[in-house]
Amino acid sequence: MSIKEKSVRIMKNSLLFHGLSPNDCGNLFDLFGPAHKTYLRDEVVMNEGDLVESIGLVCSGRLISERIDRNGKQRLIQNRCQGQVVALEAAAHPTKRCPVTVVCASNAEVIFFPYERFFDNLLPHEIKSKMFANMMGMLAHIVEKQISKIEIISHRSLRQRIWAYLCSMAVQYGSTTFCIYMNREELAGYLGVNRSALSHELSKMCADGLVSFNKNQFTLLDEKEIQLIKSFYPCTLAMGD
């Protein structure tokens, strides 16, 4: 499979190009002339403060966005997997400066689309309107994720932070059993806690009958809390049934 064929397959299944046909995606690939790059695990894709002029679409692998706080600790901000976009908010910002450091959590392939090409006069109005609407929806989703994280880490106790995160994942997946992409080190960074403390508290929660887990698969067991989730999020009524 050629790079174009692989890229078009990823494009048509991504939110950025949602609603466009494979033929539209192929034409856009030719017009944009995106750069295809491969990375090794732990390789830096972009550093905090870098000038960003392209939007990255993950073809394979997983990227994480992180920041280093004043104490030198890594704080995980985002996870990006196949079909997801990286650096949209940076490319759209007036300063065009990356607010985070983007690192490969595995070997990865990314295709970069020049941001200004999304507003090219050569683009048909209908296609341009669809992509613009998609971008607005994705930016709104980023804000929603950031609000969710603020809510999660605002809890004082470690157990409350863990439980709030796991409940948010249950709502996202519509099931009391789900898998997360983050390993323990990354989850600890996301929650702003020590890895050993996180592992210890997860074991205690398991012993207390709140959750069960096997590596990255979790199951919520507290029926009272599950019913509470269902009452707040009617769309998840099938959870645990």
Q: Are 15 and 85 in contact (CB under 8 A)?
A: yes
Query: Can you name the residues that pair with 101 across neighbouring β-strands?
Result: 66
Query: Can you name the residues that pair with 177 across neighbouring β-strands?
Result: 219
Phi, psi of 235 (to 5 degrees): -70, -10
pTM of the shown model:
0.80
Q: Which of 164, 171, 220 has its CA nearest to residue 192?
A: 164
- What's the rounded Cα separation, in Å, for the pair 54 and 1? 24
Span 139-189, pLDDT tens digits: 998 888 889 889 999 999 999 999 999 998 988 888 889 999 889 988 998
Res 222 pLDDT > 90: no
Residue range 109-130: mean pLDDT, rounded: 94
